[in-house]
Each structure stands twice: as C-alpha cells, then as structure tokens.
Chains A and B, each alone.
Chain A
Amino acid sequence: MLKYSFKSSISATFLLICLLNAFNAKAQSTHNDAGSVTGYFQIDAQYYKADSLIGAPDVPEKMLSNAFGNINYSKGKFSAGIRYEAYNNVMQGFDSRYKGQGITNRFVRYQDQLLDITVGNIYEQFGSGLIFRTYYEPGLLFDNSLDGIRVISNPVKGLTFKGVVGKQRTFFTVGPGIVRGFDGELNINEALDTIAKNIKTKVIIGGSFMSIYQADQNPDFKLPENVGAYSGRINIIREGFNFFGEYAQKENDPSLANTSIVGGKTYYSYQKGEAIFVSSSFATKGFSFLLQAKRIDNMSFRSDRDASLQNLLVNYLPATTKQHTYLMPAYSPYATQPTGEVGGLAEMQFKLKKGSPLGGKYGMDITINYSQASSLKQINIDDSTTTSKLYRTNYSEIGSALYHDFFVEITKKFTKKFKGTFMYSNQFNNINIVQHNTPRGPYKNVLAHIEVIDLTYKYKSNSAIRVELQGMQRDNKDTLNLGSWAVGLIEWTPNSHIFVAAIDQYNYGNPVESLRLHYFYFSTGYTSGPHRIALSYGKQRAGIFCVGGVCRTVPASNGFAISITSSF
C-alpha cells in the first residue's frame, strides 16, 4: 500500500517540478506568461468526548483529523495537478482503511481542439454513468478515480470519441481489476451544421462499452475473468421539451454484491445485469414539469468482484428521489439498490406571479413532488444441481415497496426584509432493505410526517437572522427507530463575514423515556473571499450525511470540531 503512494509521490513530484521548471525557463523570456498555479486546501479536525447516552464511542486518539490539498498548474493547452491527503487518524464515520498520508492523485493533461490526452488519475463519465463514472467527493471521502490513460478526440464537429484504460483508486492503492472503456457521442445538429442550423429539434445519440478484467483465483468456480457492459442513449430537445433515455446491460458477473448464502451453501449469480434510466421534462418561464423513471436489475459493477460498500465502483446508479437538505426530511434518505429496484419521480414547479392574489407583491414559488421506489419481484429458477443462482424478473411485476416521498414546498417573500419557506413531506421507508440490506431484518417500516418552517429576517442590507423549526412525527413505540423529533435552529449573520448558529434536536418521542434527549450543537465561522474557518461544539446525532447525492452513515459524536477551507 505504502509502496504505491510513495513511488507515485516521487514520480509525480519529479514530473511536476520538471514541468514547472521547464515553463519557468520559458517564462523568463516571455515574462508575464508563466502559467498559473491554483489550489484548494481543507482541514477538518475533531476532539471527541465519549457519551454513552447518545452512543458516542470513546476515541483512544481523542482527536482525529482529515486533510487534503490540491495543487493545479496550467499553461495554455497543458495542465497538471497533484493531491496530498492525510488522515491522522481518519475521523469517525469514515472507512478506517484511510490511514496515514500520501499523494493520492496526480495527472498531466494536454488539451486542444482535436485531441485531449490525460495520464494519471482521471475523472470521467459516459452518458449518465450507468456503466462508467469516476468522481471525487471529499466530504464523503469517495474517490474511484481511474489511474491510467484517457484520450478524447473530436475528429469532426459534433462527434466525440473517448477511450480510457487503467485501474481504480482504492484508499492508498489501486484495485486489482483492469478497467477499459470506449464511448462515442454524436450531436446530429452540430455535425450537420449548415443543413440543421434552423432545425429546432436537437438530437444527441451515444453509446459506450466497458470491460473489466480480473483473474479468477477461485479454486471451486469458473468465474468470468472478463466482464463486459454496454449502453446506448438518446437526448432529444425541442424548445421547452427535453427527453433523455439510456439503456445498459452487463454480462454475467458473479460478485460479492449478488452472491447469497443459503443454508451454509454459497450461491453465485450468473445472471445478466440491466438498467434503464429515463428523464423527461417540460419547462417554460414560471412553470415546469419533470418525470423520471428508472429500473435496475443486478447492476452492481466493480473492478474487484470481492469489493463491498462504496469501494471500486465502476458505474453510478442515480437515485430518482428528491434530495433533501433540511435535517429532518434528510433523516433517512433513500439510496439506490443496485441489486434491483424500480422507481420514479414526478415534480411540478411553478411561480405565482407578482400581483396575483396569492403571489402578493413579490410572487410565490411552489414545488410539488412525488417519488417512489420498489424492489423487483424475483422468480427463482431452481437449480439444485449447481450452486449458481438464477432468477427471472419481468417489467410488469414489482416487489415490495421500499420508499416514497410526497412533498410540497412553498417559498414566499412577504416584504423586502422578510421571507420564508414552508414544507411538508410524507415519507415511507423500508429501513431493513434501504439502510441495512437485510430483507428480513428486525426494523419496522417507518412512516413519517415532516414539517419545516424556515424564516429569514434581513434587518440591515447585509445582516440577517434566520430561524428554522422542524418537526417529524413517527411511531413512538418503535424502539429501533427512535420515534419523533423536533428541531429548532437560529442563525445570525451580522455581516457577510461572520455567522453564529445554534441547533437543538430534541428526540421528544423516543420510546425509552431516559433517552428523550436534547442534542445541542453550536457553530460559528468566518469567511473572507475563498477562505473559511468554522468551529463547532456539541452533540451530533447518529444518522446519514448527504452531499451531492451520495450518503454515508455518521456515528453519534460529542465534542469540539474545526474546519478550515481555502482556495487560491
């Protein structure tokens, strides 16, 4: 592990120093144009205090920290970058395999109209990502970058080819599987430039192929060493209408994700995988309608068949449910079930005009959204002679309900100084499957009624007070799910540099009376341009933390935390 990061750090450093010096030599003659160095730093540290009541564990190190720094260099068609990460030790809630420090990302790129070549750590996405997407989300410590080579070419206008090959990052090393892929996309209107110039309907089509190679070292089974996946997509846009559809298939790929153990016997699944994602919308000024549907069957795709959790994922299966950001509606969010699910979302947004009876002086924004997800109904094909598991599914039959969310949100400005957001959400969650992946687990299904009131009073041109009140009513006899909650938040921003906030999350409906606790949390921060420092103190509830659509579980914690971010 260390060997990899050490070797790579030396090579990357040499590469960058050589590059920079080369440009420096050149820059002295042309002076002003030495290229530019930009960067980004983030340091998070927390001092932990054990609290047995809320389940915050004793941390032997007392203080834990996560830090990283990105430095990018660019000059004309050339760019290069490097990232250093340090975990001493990694903070609670993250995978403990993030241990120590090292260079985890470095690349060199040359980009021009015809050709774009990158060597090093690559972030790329084919179509909507159903068979390939590598990305980085520092807040969640998610990074599945491809360490290898990428070539992008635009031979003629409107036509783009992409090819990638490499291995994926996992913690401080790379995974065992070789990842190879190819994507082609044609924007028909751009390609037919002169003929299609005045055609209002825009059509873009694309297709991709991915293949993973991993040696079969299993003495008992003949596992496929090469696993292929393909997808096709189309995007049609005409004025306010937009239709996007993508269909993907994956060859049989027995892996940890689709293996089941029944009666002490391991059953490998030699089933093919399949995914379809459709998103269509109509939008005009002041009104929009969005409809999304998705069906996924056995689409966990990784560059290591034994990987689990968030590790070495090759593809990205988007959840088609609303992404909430208020605390209570985001309490138990939905996560895509790669083994099988069918679901959809419908959303209508409109604006009541200024001067209309309800719109008032400043107008009013209304959002109505319903989303739902169910599992697939699997009909087992019994095969007692082998240990391969096969099943049938069909499009007309669905399995058990996993999740629903109906919500209405109203945003209104009452006066020049006073505005508010009001929300109601009704959520159903099959906790056993969605959060614990155990269909016959001990948890009960949860139905929650959630209300949010968010009011902002701007008492001076750049000074404001914001108050949030939230409530969540659930079954208060369900000991595993902690019952009902109420939340109060007050935030004061005396000027654009400083904020002070206090939050109380009160678990008033906990089935166990002694656990009806207040979770107080205070935070304050200072921002100046791209630099920000924030301090916080208090109790954090165990739960799910979401950024950008990916969620991770954080344990309960109690203590003092500091966070510094800066870009230059």
Chain B
Amino acid sequence: MKKIILALLLVTAFAFTSSRGDGDKIPTSIVKKLDGSKVNTNTFSNNGKPIIISFWATWCKPCKKELDAIQENYSEWTKETGVKLIAISIDDARSAGKVVTDVKSKGWDFEVYIDENSDFKRAMNVNNVPHTFLVDSAGKIVWSHNSYTEGDEEALYENVKKLIKGEPLKH
C-alpha cells in the first residue's frame, strides 16, 4: 500500500514539474559568512558570469585536494572566464571553528560560507562531499558532480568554458 502511494507521488511529481537537469534556481537557505553575518543563498550572483558551488568539509581529504587544485589555477580561471567559486563548508559545531583557519592557511581566494546545520546541503540534495555544482549566467544550476579524482578540476573548467560559449556540457 505504502509503495503504491509512493509510486503515485513520484509519478505526480515527475509529470507536473521540471527536474534539476532543466536548470533550477539556487534554492533559498541561510548560510553564514566568515564574519558571522547571514546571507541568503538565493542572492548568490556573479554579474552574469558562471558560478561554481563546491560543498566541502575541513575533515574531507578529497574536498581539500579539489579546492587546492582549483586554487592553483584560480586567478587564471577568473581572468579568462570571470567564473567565481563559492565554497560551502558543511562542518558542524565541532569543526566549524576550523573553517576560517583552513581557508586562510591554505591561502584560498574563494568566497566561503558555513552551512552549519546543513540547511543548504539538504536543499541542494547533497549527501556526500565533495559535491560540485555549476550555475549559469541566469542563476540556474546546470551541472553537478559528486566526488573528486585527480584531474576533475580540468574537466570542470572545460565545462565552465563550454557554458560561456553556450555549448552542451559534458558529464
């Protein structure tokens, strides 16, 4: 009985609405800046240029590898395409204090926010970190990728360039 209800719900949901692939707007959540002020995620913008949103945590090794790898080429990326990276830390009270020390000592130039009770993480359907999203000039989420392996940052940047040229993105 319950399975039938669930199936019904799924069908209803799919039949009447669009899915993530069609380009949803960034959902509404409140995250914290490193200076303690609160920001609504639906105000994330980059003057009509693409945005990379990367979910990470201070205890997540692959996340830090990915962000380190991006940092190495970040000034080039921003110069060439105007892309901006927004790093969302999902650290909870235990390690939230470590976010600012990690970011500064690593010398990352990204815009960093803390999602301490995982509100934004849930709204974006992120379960495991790292999880990276690409947002187009109209503020719509057009691409996402879970996990990090060596060289993924290059594939990500290829997609940023494709996005600007209006070419189809590669998964």
Stretch with Cβ within 8 A of A (4 or more), from B45-53, B78-86, B145-153, B160-168: B145-153
* A440 sits at the interface (CB 8 A): no
On whether the beta carbons of A567 and B98 are closer than 8 Å, the reply is no
User: B116 — which chain A residues lie within 8 A by C-beta?
Assistant: 125
Closest to A282 in B: B101
* C-alpha gap A39/B58 in the complex (Å): 26
Closest to A116 in B: B30
On whether the beta carbons of A528 and B10 are closer than 8 Å, the reply is no
* B95 sits at the interface (CB 8 A): yes
* A356 sits at the interface (CB 8 A): no
On whether the beta carbons of B94 and A24 are closer than 8 Å, the reply is no
On whether the beta carbons of B17 and A35 are closer than 8 Å, the reply is yes
* A6 sits at the interface (CB 8 A): yes
* B138 sits at the interface (CB 8 A): no
Instruction: Name A453-487 residues within 8 Å CB distance of B.
Output: 456, 458, 460-464, 466
Q: Contacts A38-B19, A123-B117, A548-B57; is A283 near B92 (CB within 8 Å)?
A: no
On whether the beta carbons of A463 and B118 are closer than 8 Å, the reply is no
Q: Mark B135-163, 1 if CB is under 8 A from A, else 0.
A: 00000000111110111101100000000
On whether the beta carbons of A135 and B13 are closer than 8 Å, the reply is no
Q: Mark A265-307, 1 if CB is under 8 A from B, else 0.
A: 0000000000001011101111111101000000000000000
Interface residue total, chain B, C-beta cutoff 8 A = 71
Q: Contacts A38-B20, A38-B125, A565-B128; is A287 near B145 (CB within 8 Å)?
A: no
On whether the beta carbons of B97 and A281 are closer than 8 Å, the reply is yes
Closest to B64 in A: A411
- Prevailing SS type, chain B contact patch: mixed
On whether the beta carbons of A292 and B97 are closer than 8 Å, the reply is yes
On whether the beta carbons of A135 and B118 are closer than 8 Å, the reply is yes
* C-alpha gap A79/B120 in the complex (Å): 13
A316 partner, pick from B92, B100, B152, beta carbons under 8 A: B92
Instruction: Name B1-45 residues within 8 Å CB distance of A.
Output: 1-2, 5-6, 8-10, 12-14, 16-22, 24-25, 27-28, 34-38
* C-alpha gap A300/B69 in the complex (Å): 42
* C-alpha gap A464/B65 in the complex (Å): 13
A279 partner, pick from B97, B103, B146, beta carbons under 8 A: B97
User: B61 — which chain A residues lie within 8 A by C-beta?
Assistant: 325
On whether the beta carbons of B101 and A290 are closer than 8 Å, the reply is yes
Q: Contacts A290-B101, A292-B97, A463-B151; is A13 near B5 (CB within 8 Å)?
A: yes
A420 to chain B, nearest CB (A): 12
* A251 sits at the interface (CB 8 A): no
On whether the beta carbons of A10 and B5 are closer than 8 Å, the reply is yes
User: A10 — which chain B residues lie within 8 A by C-beta?
Assistant: 5
Q: Contacts A37-B13, A38-B20; is A493 near B150 (CB within 8 Å)?
A: yes
A237 to chain B, nearest CB (A): 5
9 nearest A-B pairs in the assembled complex, by CB-CB distance: A462-B151, A318-B94, A283-B104, A288-B101, A464-B150, A279-B97, A349-B105, A128-B93, A24-B16
- Name 7 A/B residue pairs within 8 A (Cβ), A-sorted: A38-B19, A189-B37, A319-B94, A349-B102, A351-B107, A493-B150, A568-B21
Which B residues have a C-beta under 8 Å from some C-beta of A?
A: 1-2, 5-6, 8-10, 12-14, 16-22, 24-25, 27-28, 34-38, 57-61, 90, 92-98, 100-107, 116-119, 122-128, 131, 143-147, 149-152, 154-155, 171
